[in-house]
């Protein structure tokens, strides 16, 4: 009888069972020997390596392995467990049990046995008495159990050996086989392992049910299950590394369902109180591997198309909710025990603890398995948590509600807060030693483990807060559990937030402080020698701080969205959401110094740069170029992004008014800090955009050498000549370079990894003595590091512009009026000539008007006041859009300006010719907004030459362009209205108008920003700036005509020569060039 045939018989003879045990034992020994031989051949690279066992993992053998591994018998498992319990009950745990040979000697005749009848014998104590008579029925039942015990033990040993053997095979195939072969093997191993786990877990469930009816418990041996879980995790992990296009949703969903069913059964069999302390390692290890397998499968499934059928979505969500329950179950089973295990566990090995203990020191195997279970459980919950972008259909929204309900029923948030409190308490004690560099290896290990747990839990909470924007029950549950208050009182944040913050949090008062270490890094700042590389390491606690700041910012956004949704639907929910904003206000007040100190650090970090040799060295030429007055590391800029995001949310919607009333002084500091941040980030980004555009123009000019006909089409950036353009490109590149501090080895590596072909070629020739300055500076603005910080700086700029736009005094300078209020008001006494009013027919309802905010066309029209007539109660106005003059009654006014609130935040200065001049200006100016828009324009004109993977996303560029354009329009109009008529004709006005024309174009020219801005927004801005654009357009035409009349185009030399009187025209064309001009 073959092994496969024996699995399908209901009644099996003792001889057949004996044959199976012998064959399985032989397979086990053979696999062990082959595994040793395979390891030897693989390591020595002799005798074909892994090839000699290829026949064992072909499709046909793999099918046989799968059938054999899935041959677990429920009655056999129960018999095995019963025999283990019986031996223990008579204090024979270490005595040899009956074997098949003894049974055959007593019963030489072959007899059939029904494996399901053995459990009818009753409790073990009755059997002890019955075994005194060898011919009794009880004795026969005992021997039957012993026979099944041998069979199950053989199968278990075989499963463990098989798993070990194929781990060796898999490792050897990865090194010697191609990707497709390895992937095929891993998929087969995954299917076999999962099928075996399914069979084992099902059989164990049945056997446990049989045993529980007899008052008995199952055998604690979990070795085969642990080995199979290990192989399943290994094969899934390796398989996920390949881009498996053949994976389909049904296959993965089936695997996902099988894994959950197996995990659910195994979790039930390893629940608290059922495992002894000696078996705790194996139990926690099995649980951890099962949850890790779920993580891998979810990751693979999410990579597939998100457009799933309704049935698949429902099944997928049901499995995820089930796994959420298991992950929370794992958290509830763990407790933190610092300094050792409970005393009872140490005294009695049979003690069954109420919870599994973990130690942050991870001493020994026990601490490691439980701690890893903690990490994996939290990671899985983060993966299972609904996210804000998931709510595209009803099933996704329903999943968010079910997930929250599961969390509430299982008290998951209380468990998370317990583990968060334990980890935060320990890490707050170890932080100073680690941050100061005096910690021992054991203390550093404890600190790393605790900070890891804190970060995982904080990240999970942030994900839940984000999902609250779509599921209000999640927000209410978080508030009810006290999570937001607990973050404010977190011991780790309180102990460490002051470690990197200077004594003063103001931007202007901290520039002279001596920086001992980079903010957000552990290693002290070093005095870099020429050619040395940075060695700082990122402070993980600082990353936690960023997560917390982003969490509170996301909380404000979720509250605003949910309040808007339920405003007219459920007033009770709105009343429950209102107090949450005050919690954010309390957080800002508690950590005010830490929040504002990051902006001061932008100036402090300049003193930590030394001689800038940590950025790859400097030339004698670069030492003579002006560097920036501020500098930042990657961590510091990310902190500025997080804090500015929080500030932007505080100044949005109704939250702004509440925050202004509650924290007026902090509100003013936020506006001031945001304006300064906008100035610095626009200077940095503007220098990058200018440098890249100039380098590209110079590259195009070189290409023109072979195209004489193109010499007449000069690039506008080269109007001052190629030498000047090259010099300006270098100055801008150096400025951007001086803003960045390379704090880690990774930063240094990325800063020398070019992102464009030109920069890559130049970086290789940087050390060549004949390489030009232009070549050596190319990589400063075209490398991987600056591409990363560029995107973060873009987010900082957008957030700061959002604060300035929402908190701008002009945003509240327009007062809305009803027709009744306008008719009863003495308009002549309140409105002076030149004031802007909103005119609307009397039968139109009034609405809130924002003159300095671009919005969709409304029925109201804006007009400038010419005069008021009290006798006729009318006003003469000139419409902004059409220019028509009309007499309208006072009752038609639906809005007017409050001139007392009209003042600007940016000085009236154009973008400086030198980027260094723009940096040293005290007050932020209109020129900084122009620089920001030039950076946005750069992407519209050069997107094809940039690597898409290293450039900021276009939606960010679009958002910055629109924000900066609207704010620039607002400031220009304010300055024009507030200044006298004489000052409007000066040289500064002319330069600003020309720069506006360069950005937005005239009525006859297309805007250079059209590719990065919404057409309606752009047209609205051009409409409001039509006077400025018209004046600049006329001046440009006059200048062009004058230049064409005075210049002899045939004899004009583009490269130097006699200096001309007056300004150089931007309309000059190239005439004659030689190859020496481009050297």
pLDDT in tens, 266-300: 888 777 655 555 577 888 899 999 999 999 999 88
Cα separations (Å) of 608 from 412, 516, 518, 524, 619? 45, 8, 7, 10, 20
Q: Give CA angle at 923 (917, 928), nearest 5°.
A: 60
Would you say residue 830 has pLDDT above 60?
yes
Q: Do 634 and 745 form a contact (C-beta atoms < 8 A)?
A: no
Are the CB atoms for 1079 and 772 separated by under 8 Å?
yes
Query: Residue 180 — very low, low, confident or very high, per pLDDT cuts 50/70/90?
Result: confident
User: Which has the minimum average pLDDT: 33-42, 108-117, 822-831?
Assistant: 108-117
- Which range of 433-437, 559-563, 880-884, 1038-1042 scores highest in mean pLDDT? It is 559-563
Contact 747, 785 (CB under 8 A): yes
Q: How many angstroms separate the CA atoms of 291 and 361, rounded?
A: 23
Six token digits for residue 731? 């100055």
The torsion angles phi and psi of 133, rounded to 5 degrees, stand at: -110, 110
Q: Are 327 and 288 in contact (CB under 8 A)?
A: no
d(CA 807, CA 805) in angstroms, rounded, equals: 6
- pLDDT score for 219: 57
Supply 97's token pair. Answer: 């049990």
Other CB atoms within a 10 A radius of the CB of residue 767 amount to 9
Q: Would you say residue 484 has pLDDT above 70?
A: yes
pLDDT of residue 1053: 45
Average pLDDT over residues 707-736: 71
Counting beta carbons within 10 angstroms of the beta carbon of residue 823, is it exposed (0 to 12), middle (13 to 18) or buried (19 or more)? middle
How far is it, in rounded angstroms, from Cα 106 to Cα 143?
Answer: 10
- 3-class state of residue 377 by DSSP: helix
In sign, the C-alpha dihedral spanning 926, 930, 931, 933 is positive
699 close to 717: Cβ distance less than 8 angstroms: no
pLDDT at 951 over 80: no
Q: Which of 171-180, 343-352, 481-490 has the lowest mean pLDDT?
A: 343-352
> Can you tell me the mean pLDDT for 8-15?
49
Does residue 86 surpass a pLDDT of 60? no
Query: How far is the C-alpha of 16 from the C-alpha of 518, rounded, in Å?
Result: 74
503 or 878, higher pLDDT: 878
Overall average pLDDT of the 592-597 stretch: 91
| Residue 108 pLDDT exceeds 50 | no
**pTM of the shown model:** 0.82
Give the pLDDT of residue 465. Answer: 94
**In the prediction, which pLDDT does 95 show?**
40
CB neighbours of 466 closer than 8 A, spacing ≥ 6?
387, 388, 554, 558
Cα radius of gyration rounded to whole Å, the chain: 38
In contact, 79 and 114? CB cutoff 8 Å: no
Query: Pick from 576, 581, 769, 562: which is nearest to 662 by CA?
Result: 581
Other C-beta atoms within 10 Å of 828: how many?
A: 16
How many angstroms separate the CA atoms of 595 and 348, rounded?
52
The tokens for 705 are 């050498």
Write down the mean pLDDT value for the chain: 76
Which two three-digit tokens encode residue 723?
């030498």
More confident residue, 1006 or 636: 636
- 519 pLDDT band, cuts 50/70/90, is confident
850 pLDDT exceeds 50? Answer: no
How far, in Å, CA of 1024 to CA of 974, rounded?
Answer: 12
Lowest mean pLDDT across 70-79, 306-315, 411-420: 70-79
φ/ψ of 538, rounded to 5, equals -65, 140
Confidence of residue 489 (pLDDT cuts 50, 70, 90): very high
* Pairing between β-strand 334-336 and β-strand 356-358 as defined by DSSP bridges: parallel
Among the residue ranges 29-33, 581-585, 620-624, 967-971, the one predicted with the least confidence is 620-624
Mean per-residue pLDDT for 981-1000? 81
Q: Report the pLDDT value the prediction gives residue 177, as an integer from 0 to 100.
A: 73
Are the C-beta atoms of residues 595 and 645 closer than 8 Å to each other? no
Q: Across-strand partners of 358?
A: 336
- CA 607 to each of CA 294, 506, 538, 601, 1056: distance values in angstroms, whole numbers, following the listed order: 49, 17, 19, 10, 40
pLDDT category at 379 given cuts 50, 70, 90 is: very high
Query: Between 181 and 320, where is the model more confident?
Result: 320
Q: Are 786 and 751 in contact (CB under 8 A)?
A: yes
pLDDT tier at 1052, thresholds 50, 70, 90: very low
The token pair that represents 1048 in the structure block = 């002899």
868: enclosing H helix or E strand: strand 861-869
Contacts of 1022 (CB under 8 A, 6+ apart): 1000, 1001, 1003, 1007, 1029
Burial class (CB in 10 A: 0-12, 13-18, 19+), 136: middle
Distance CA 435, CA 521 (A): 8
Confidence check: pLDDT of 610 > 90: no
> φ and ψ at 1011, to 5 degrees?
-80, -15
- Res 33: pLDDT: 83
The separation between the first and the last C-alpha atoms of the chain, rounded to the nearest angstrom, is 88
Band of pLDDT at residue 175, cut at 50, 70 and 90 = confident
Q: Which residue has the higher pLDDT, 378 or 841?
A: 378
Question: Is 50 exceeded by the pLDDT of residue 916?
Answer: yes
Q: Residue 707: what are its φ and ψ, rounded to 5°?
A: -130, 85
In order of 819, 875, 895, the CA distances from 891 in angstroms are 5, 10, 11
CA dist 344 and 412 (Å) reads 28
- Asked if 300 and 247 touch (Cβ cutoff 8 Å), the reply is yes
């Amino acid at each position: 009888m073959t092994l496969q045939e024996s699995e399908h018989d209901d009644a099996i003879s003792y001889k057949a069972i004996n044959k199976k045990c012998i064959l399985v034992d032989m397979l086990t020994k053979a696999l062990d020997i082959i595994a040793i031989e395979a390891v030897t051949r693989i390591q020595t690279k002799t005798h074909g390596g892994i090839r000699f066992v290829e026949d064992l993992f072909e499709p046909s053998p793999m099918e046989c392995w799968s059938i054999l591994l899935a041959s677990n018998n429920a009655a056999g498992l129960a018999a095995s467990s019963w025999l283990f319990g019986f031996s223990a009950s008579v204090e024979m745990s270490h005595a040899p049990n009956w074997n098949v040979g003894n049974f055959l000697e007593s019963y030489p005749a072959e007899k059939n046995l029904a494996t399901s009848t053995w459990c009818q014998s009753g409790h073990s104590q009755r059997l002890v008495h019955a075994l005194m008579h060898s011919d009794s029925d009880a004795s026969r039942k005992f021997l039957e159990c012993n026979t099944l015990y041998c069979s199950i033990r053989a199968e278990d040993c075989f499963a463990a050996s098989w798993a070990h053997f194929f781990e060796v095979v898999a490792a050897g195939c990865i090194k010697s086989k191609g990707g497709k072969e390895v992937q095929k093997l891993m998929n087969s191993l995954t299917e076999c392992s999962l099928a075996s786990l399914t069979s084992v877990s099902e059989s164990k469930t049945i056997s446990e049910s049989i045993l529980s009816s007899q008052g008995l418990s199952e055998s604690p041996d979990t070795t085969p299950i642990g080995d199979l879980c290990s192989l399943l995790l290994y094969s899934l992990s390796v398989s996920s590394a390949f881009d498996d296009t053949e994976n389909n949703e049904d296959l993965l969903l089936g695997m996902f369902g099988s894994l959950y069913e197996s995990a659910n059964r195994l979790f039930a069999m390893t629940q608290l109180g059922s495992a002894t302390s000696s078996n705790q390692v194996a139990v926690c290890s099995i649980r951890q591997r099962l949850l890790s397998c779920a993580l891998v499968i979810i990751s693979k499934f999410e990579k597939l198309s998100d457009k799933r059928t309704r049935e698949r979505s429902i099944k997928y969500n049901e499995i995820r909710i089930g796994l959420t329950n298991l992950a929370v179950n794992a958290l509830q089973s763990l407790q933190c025990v610092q300094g050792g295990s409970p005393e009872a566990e140490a005294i009695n090995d049979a003690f069954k603890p109420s919870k599994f203990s973990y130690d942050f020191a991870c001493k020994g195997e026990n601490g490691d398995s439980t701690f890893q279970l903690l990490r994996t459980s939290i990671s899985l919950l983060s993966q299972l948590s609904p996210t804000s972008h998931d709510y595209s259909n009803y099933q996704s929204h329903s999943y968010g509600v079910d997930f929250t309900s599961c969390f509430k029923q299982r008290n998951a948030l209380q468990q998370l807060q317990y583990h968060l409190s334990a980890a935060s308490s320990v890490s707050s004690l170890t932080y100073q030693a680690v941050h100061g560099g005096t910690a021992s290896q054991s203390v550093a290990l404890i600190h790393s483990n605790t900070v890891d747990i804190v970060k995982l839990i904080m990240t999970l909470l942030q994900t839940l807060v984000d999902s609250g924007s779509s599921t209000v029950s999640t927000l209410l549950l978080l508030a009810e559990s006290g999570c937001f208050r607990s973050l404010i009182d977190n011991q780790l944040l309180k102990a460490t937030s002051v470690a990197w913050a200077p004594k003063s949090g103001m931007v202007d008062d901290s520039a002279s402080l001596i920086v001992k270490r980079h903010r957000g890094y552990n290693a002290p700042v070093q005095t870099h020698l020429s050619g040395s590389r940075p060695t700082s390491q990122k402070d993980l606690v600082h990353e936690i701080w960023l997560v917390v700041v982003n969490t509170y910012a996301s909380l404000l956004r979720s509250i605003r969205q949910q309040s808007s949704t339920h405003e007219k639907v459920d007033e009770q929910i709105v009343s429950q959401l209102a107090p949450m904003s005050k919690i954010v206000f309390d957080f800002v007040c508690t950590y005010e110094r830490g929040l504002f100190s990051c902006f001061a650090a932008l100036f402090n970090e300049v003193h930590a740069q030394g001689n800038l040799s940590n950025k790859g060295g400097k030339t004698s030429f670069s030492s003579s170029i002006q560097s920036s007055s501020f500098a930042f590391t990657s961590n510091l800029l990310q902190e500025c992004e997080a804090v500015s995001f929080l500030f932007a949310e505080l100044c949005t919607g109704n939250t702004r008014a509440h925050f202004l009333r509650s924290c007026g002084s902090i509100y003013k500091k936020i506006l001031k800090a945001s304006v300064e941040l906008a100035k610095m980030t626009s200077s940095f980004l503007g220098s990058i955009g200018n440098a890249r555009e100039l380098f590209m123009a110079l590259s195009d000019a070189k290409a023109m050498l072979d195209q004489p006909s193109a010499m007449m089409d000069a690039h506008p950036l080269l109007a001052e000549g190629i030498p000047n353009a090259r010099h300006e490109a270098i100055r801008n590149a150096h400025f951007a370079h001086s803003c960045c501090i390379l704090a880690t080895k990774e930063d240094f590596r990325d800063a020398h990894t070019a992102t464009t072909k030109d920069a890559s070629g130049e970086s290789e020739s940087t050390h060549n003595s004949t390489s030009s300055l232009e070549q050596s500076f190319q990589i400063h603005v075209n490398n991987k590091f600056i591409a990363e910080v560029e995107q973060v700086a873009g987010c900082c700029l957008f957030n700061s512009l959002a604060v300035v736009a929402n908190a701008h005094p002009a945003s509240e300078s327009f007062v809305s009026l009803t027709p009744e209020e306008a008719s009863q008001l003495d308009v002549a006494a309140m409105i002076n000539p030149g004031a802007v009013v909103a005119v609307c027919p009397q039968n139109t309802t009034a609405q809130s008007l924002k003159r300095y905010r671009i919005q969709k066309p409304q029925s109201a029209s804006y007009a400038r006041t010419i005069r008021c007539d009290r006798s006729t109660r009318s006003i003469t106005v000139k419409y902004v859009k059409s220019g028509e003059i009309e007499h309208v009654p006072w009752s038609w006014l639906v809005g007017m300006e409050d001139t007392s609130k009209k003042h600007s935040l940016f000085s009236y200065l154009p973008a400086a010719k030198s980027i260094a001049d723009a940096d040293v200006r005290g007050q932020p100016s209109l020129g900084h907004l122009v620089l920001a828009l030039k950076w946005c324009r750069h992407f519209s004109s050069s997107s094809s030459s940039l690597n898409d993977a290293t450039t900021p996303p276009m939606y960010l560029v679009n958002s910055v362009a629109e924000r900066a354009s609207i704010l620039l329009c607002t400031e220009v109009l304010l300055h024009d209205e507030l200044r006298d008529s004489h000052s409007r004709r000066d040289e500064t006005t002319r330069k600003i108008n020309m720069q506006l024309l360069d950005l937005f174009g005239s009525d006859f020219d297309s805007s250079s920003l059209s590719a990065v801005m919404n057409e309606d927004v752009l047209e609205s801005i051009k409409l409001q700036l039509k006077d400025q654009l018209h004046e600049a357009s006329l001046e440009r035409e006059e200048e062009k005509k004058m230049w064409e009349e005075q210049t002899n185009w045939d004899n004009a030399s583009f490269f130097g020569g006699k200096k001309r009187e007056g300004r150089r025209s931007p309309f000059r064309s190239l005439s004659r060039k030689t190859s020496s001009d481009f050297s």
